[in-house]
């Protein structure tokens, strides 16, 4: 049985979503929706984290989850290396410092393991958070806007790194960017007016070439702006 979430949620007395069914099979599932639609709430429900919502339904998730929130949640008192190793340490797993260093290098922070998060830019912090999520090697990864603070070139490199390193896992990524969802998603869903609908995708493997995506991205952009 795959992972996923099914059900309905109310927040502050209003319906946030009703009778959604979001399966999370291996590969990338991307969740699009306007600001406030309920995307982060869905992610937190799958992660088993508190939300302000009353949820009726069921969640199927493994015990070990890689989690990357909208806020980077870095420990200010730890080094970058310590931050990347944190999840493994908390779960009692062996701290594989060599792999953490490799991941920090892959996100462009080679040789900077001893720095503290406070001395980093927003984009650098986001890349440390990404390295930490990739370190988990969990069967399910939940990523909330994981590339939002990155410039276009870095964003592309980090997308491709995440595609490579999370291959085999089930990934749920929340994004505001239709192009990103269409490029990376094996499945793409749109949360709109409390319902979840699948987005038709061009054929072919991910990452998809951008020219094939422009028309669908335009259509989605119009729906998100409505
Ligand atoms: N703890 C809470 N208590 C009350 N209302 C909340 C709480 N958390 C979120 N909300 C409300 O629920 C709605 C959905 O929030 P959520 O963060 O899931 O949206 P989102 O689609 O992720 O938005 P964004 O794209 O802006 O991050 C919003 O209207 C928000 O104000």
pLDDT in tens, 108-150: 999 999 999 999 999 999 999 999 999 999 999 999 999 999 9
Of ligand 1's atoms, which has the minimum distance to the CA of residue 33?
Answer: 21
- Mutate which of 18, 31, 37, 43 to test ligand 1's pocket (most atoms within 8 Å of Cβ)? 37
Pocket flag, ligand 1, residue 58 (CB < 6 Å)? no
92 has pLDDT over 80? no
ipTM over 0.90: yes
pLDDT in tens, 8-29: 999 988 999 999 999 999 999 9
What mean pLDDT is predicted for residues 146-170? 96
Query: Residue 207, preceding bond cis, omega within 30 degrees?
Result: yes
Pocket flag, ligand 1, residue 37 (CB < 6 Å)? yes
1 has pLDDT over 60? no
What pLDDT does residue 29 have?
98
Report d(CA 126, CA 128) in Å as an integer: 5
Protein residue whose Cα sits closest to atom 9 of ligand 1: 52
SS3 15: strand
Protein residue whose Cα sits closest to atom 31 of ligand 1: 36
Q: Residues of the chain with pLDDT > 70: what percent? A: 99
Q: Which band of pLDDT confidence, cut at 50, 70 and 90, is reported for residue 226? A: confident
Pocket flag, ligand 1, residue 38 (CB < 6 Å)? yes
**End-to-end alpha-carbon separation of the chain, Å?**
36
Q: Which band of pLDDT confidence, cut at 50, 70 and 90, is reported for residue 2? A: confident
Cβ neighbors of 204 (< 8 A, separation 6 or more) are: 212
Of ligand 1's atoms, which has the minimum distance to the CA of residue 44?
Answer: 18
What mean pLDDT is predicted for residues 66-89? 91
Pocket flag, ligand 1, residue 211 (CB < 6 Å)? no
pTM of the model: 0.94
- Give the full edge-to-edge strand order of the sheet including 140-144: 65-68, 140-144, 170-174, 27-33, 187-192, 195-198
């Amino acid at each position: 049985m795959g992972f996923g979430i099914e059900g309905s949620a109310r927040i502050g007395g209003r319906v946030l979503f009703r009778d959604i069914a979001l399966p999370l099979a291996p590969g990338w599932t991307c969740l699009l929706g306007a600001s406030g639609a309920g995307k982060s709430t869905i992610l937190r429900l799958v992660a088993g984290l508190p939300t302000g919502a009353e949820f009726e339904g069921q969640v199927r998730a493994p015990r070990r989850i890689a989690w990357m929130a909208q806020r980077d949640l870095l420990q200010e008192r730890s080094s970058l290396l310590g931050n990347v190793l944190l999840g493994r340490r908390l779960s009692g797993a062996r701290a594989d410092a060599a792999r953490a260093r490799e991941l920090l290098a892959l996100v462009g922070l080679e040789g900077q393991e001893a720095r503290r998060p406070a001395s980093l830019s927003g984009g650098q912090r986001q890349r440390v958070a990404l390295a930490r999520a990739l370190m988990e090697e969990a069967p399910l990864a939940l990523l909330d806007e994981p590339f939002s603070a990155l410039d276009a070139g870095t964003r592309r490199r980090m997308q491709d790194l995440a595609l490579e390193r999370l291959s085999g896992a089930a990934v749920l990524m929340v994004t505001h960017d239709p192009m990103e969802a269409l490029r990376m998603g094996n499945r793409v869903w749109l949360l709109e007016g409390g319902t979840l609908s699948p987005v038709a995708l061009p054929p072919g493997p991910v990452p998809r070439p951008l020219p094939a995506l422009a028309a669908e991205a335009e259509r989605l952009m119009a729906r998100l702006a409505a």
